Amino acid sequence: MMRAVSPTLDCPILHLLQKCKTFNTLKQVHAQMITTGLILHTYPISRILLMSSSLSPLPYTLAMFSRAPNPSIFLYNTLISRLTLNNQVKLALSLYDQMLSDPDLRPNNYTYPSLFKAFAAQKWFKHGQALHAHILKFIYPLHDNFVQASLLNFYSRCGRVDIARYFFDQIMEPDLATWNSILSAYARNSSVSLSGDPRLLDENTSSSLEVLNLFSHMQKSGVEPSEVTLVAIISACAELGALGQGIWAHVYIIKNALSLNHYIGTALITLYTNCGCLGFASQLFYQLPHTDIFCFNAMIRGLAIHGRGCEALDLFETMKHKGLAPDDVTMLAVMCACSHVGLVGEGRRYFELMTSIYGLEPKIEHYCCLVDLLGRAGLVKEAEERILTIPMKPNAVLWRSLLGAARVHGDLETGEVALKKLVELDPETSGNYVLLSNMYSCMKKWDEAKRVRQLMKERGVEKMPGSSLVEVDGSMHEFLAGDKSHPRAREVYLKLEEMNAKLQERGHRARTREVLFDIEEEDKEDALSYHSERLAIAFALIATDSCTPVRIIKNLRVCVDCHSSTKLLSLIYGREIIVRDRTRFHHFNNGSCSCLDYW
């Protein structure tokens, strides 16, 4: 006959349950719980369900739950939580549906967080939206920080930063996990890329600035940062090129004896490569106690965008010798390395090796890199053929890359084909029209150039202004073309006049062919002089020590005239000038550039 035992916390059987390490010992305790009647009480059932979900086969756990008399919402929540932790999301959902079918049960604040966490991990956005509706139905109005935090985390993981921010703003005193969720959301939204649409780069900049703004508020709230916080901060600094603030984060890690693991290591490598400090990135890479595929990818990519293609390929071979299998990110970095230094044969070979040796299916990004590789090398027709034969629909980036190659190599026919495709796919991006118009202007085909400009006007497309960021004493200063809004604008323009005079003394002649053809030649030279990076360089020259490298970040590709003048300015002023544009880095020093004029 079963005798009932009171389920107190100091019950000997529950103490035995906590000591269970194997399925067999668990079954023995389960048998005692049955014979003593302890299994009839909710709390003991919840404890053994927790233990069972980690030690027992799943059918055993589910059978145990099914035999529970009138399972409470507490039992349902317990098992749903364990199922989601064990990645049994579909079973957890089935159990949730079973709970809803019981008229005596109603979901509560503890029902949803584990489900939302599982949905966020698997990017099940529609399921999460439906579950959000259930929250509004069953527990509205919502005042529970735990549920709000789970909604925040779900929407942030699914890329809906706007909704995540709404829930963050509802939480009165966010804890560390909540701060990390919103910081990581913005950091992911500003995923570092030097080869995308300029409009996306501007969005990324805004997201990165918001990371730093939020972190400032987090510090004022007294919440201490964790590893996750620091990775988000460092990633934002990498996107912005905010070297000073990134160094602060690195120093914080060292002072607080935090582990320099591969997550933080990868973020720091990306920071230093994105800020033009390739030497620091390399030094850090070789000091890491453990390097995984992510660390190698970051370092190979860093070498690639700095024009150190051969070193990038050497590091790729080292990675393989360590037994690390390349992934699609690795191969993209390797092909990028080939593209920036004109290693056409090697780039083709690595592209073929993706499928034949490494079992990787090329993505659209790999085809974009291949087209860029061929186009830079003057193989414009081969690049066009590649686009026409890829197994997916060509996107705007592919056609824009082809248009750029056609402009550089004067292939009008291919350029016109590319623009036609771009106007269909991406009619609002001004750079597409400007590339072709410049091509016509260079070849003195004024009527055709005018036709393209007229097409821009008809479609209401405004030319995207060039902007450049420069960091001075930890603060970021932004300049637009012709900008006079800076507090030190008068000094900047006086320095600009001096720079222009010195350039002319050294024989520099402005390359005005690509400037708007319907303005006077003298005005064309002025237009070039007021480009955003010229203003940023002028400001850096008056605001920084003469031994300090000048670091500029542009939202557009460096133009031919700015490239040639910056080479000369580096010689005139004896300053290293490092310019990061939307595709790569240019290190100007002593009158030459690291790209060797191949960009």
Domains parsed from the chain with CATH numbers: 389-464 (1.25.40.10), 467-593 (no CATH)
Please name the residue ranges forming H helices in 390-516: 396-408, 412-425, 430-442, 446-458, 489-505
**Mean pLDDT score of the chain:** 86
Among 62, 63, 11, CA closest to 37: 11
In sequence order, the 6+-apart residues with CB closer than 8 A to the CB of 193 are 200, 201, 204
Q: Which residue has the higher pLDDT, 214 or 158?
A: 214
Among 133, 86, 68, CA closest to 107: 133
Residue 484, Ramachandran bin (φ over 0: left; ψ between -120 and 50: alpha; else beta): alpha
- The pLDDT score that the predictor gives to residue 145 is 77
Among 147, 204, 157, 205, CA closest to 185: 157
Spatial distance between the Cα atoms of 370 and 375, rounded to a whole number of angstroms: 8
In sequence order, the 6+-apart residues with CB closer than 8 A to the CB of 590 are 570, 571
Going by pLDDT thresholds of 50, 70 and 90, the confidence category of residue 511 is low
- Report CA torsion sign: 380, 581, 592, 502: positive
Spatial distance between the Cα atoms of 538 and 542, rounded to a whole number of angstroms: 7
552: helix, strand or coil: strand
Whether the Cβ atoms of residue 120 and residue 149 lie closer than 8 Å to each other? no
Q: Which two tokens stand for residue 583?
A: 């595709």
Spatial distance between the Cα atoms of 330 and 292, rounded to a whole number of angstroms: 12
- The pLDDT score that the predictor gives to residue 122 is 65
Q: Which two tokens stand for residue 500?
A: 């222009």
Average confidence (pLDDT) over 139-159: 80
529: helix, strand or coil: helix
Spatial distance between the Cα atoms of 89 and 93, rounded to a whole number of angstroms: 6
Query: Which tens digits make up the pLDDT trace of 352-409?
Result: 999 999 999 999 999 999 999 999 899 999 999 999 999 999 998 899 889 888 888 8
Whether the Cβ atoms of residue 591 and residue 570 lie closer than 8 Å to each other? yes
Question: Residue 517: pLDDT above 60?
Answer: no
pTM of the model: 0.81
Q: Which residue has the higher pLDDT, 239 or 529?
A: 239
Among 489, 453, 482, CA closest to 466: 482
In sequence order, the 6+-apart residues with CB closer than 8 A to the CB of 122 are 89
Going by pLDDT thresholds of 50, 70 and 90, the confidence category of residue 227 is very high
Determine the straight-line distance between the first and last CA of the chain, rounded to whole angstroms: 86
One DSSP character per residue, 270-282 reads HHHHHTT-HHHHH
Question: Residue 522: pLDDT above 50?
Answer: no
- The pLDDT score that the predictor gives to residue 9 is 53
CA 286 remoteness from chain centre: 24
Average confidence (pLDDT) over 23-41: 88
- The pLDDT score that the predictor gives to residue 560 is 84
Question: Residue 60: pLDDT above 90?
Answer: no
- Stretch (H or E) spanning 478: strand 475-480
Going by pLDDT thresholds of 50, 70 and 90, the confidence category of residue 521 is very low
Going by pLDDT thresholds of 50, 70 and 90, the confidence category of residue 93 is confident
Question: Residue 33: pLDDT above 80?
Answer: yes
Query: Which tens digits make up the pLDDT trace of 305-347?
Result: 999 999 999 999 999 999 999 999 999 999 999 999 999 999 9
Query: Which tens digits make up the pLDDT trace of 94-136?
Result: 888 998 888 888 888 888 888 888 777 666 788 888 888 888 8
Residue 27, burial from CB neighbour count under 10 angstroms (0-12, 13-18, 19+)? middle
Spatial distance between the Cα atoms of 217 and 277, rounded to a whole number of angstroms: 29
- The pLDDT score that the predictor gives to residue 481 is 83
Distances (CA, A) of 495 to 488, 541, 546: 11, 8, 14
- CA 583, 587, 591 angle in degrees (round to 5)? 130
Among 456, 429, 421, 452, CA closest to 198: 429
Question: Residue 485: pLDDT above 80?
Answer: yes
In sequence order, the 6+-apart residues with CB closer than 8 A to the CB of 76 are 95, 96, 98, 99, 105, 111
- The pLDDT score that the predictor gives to residue 303 is 96
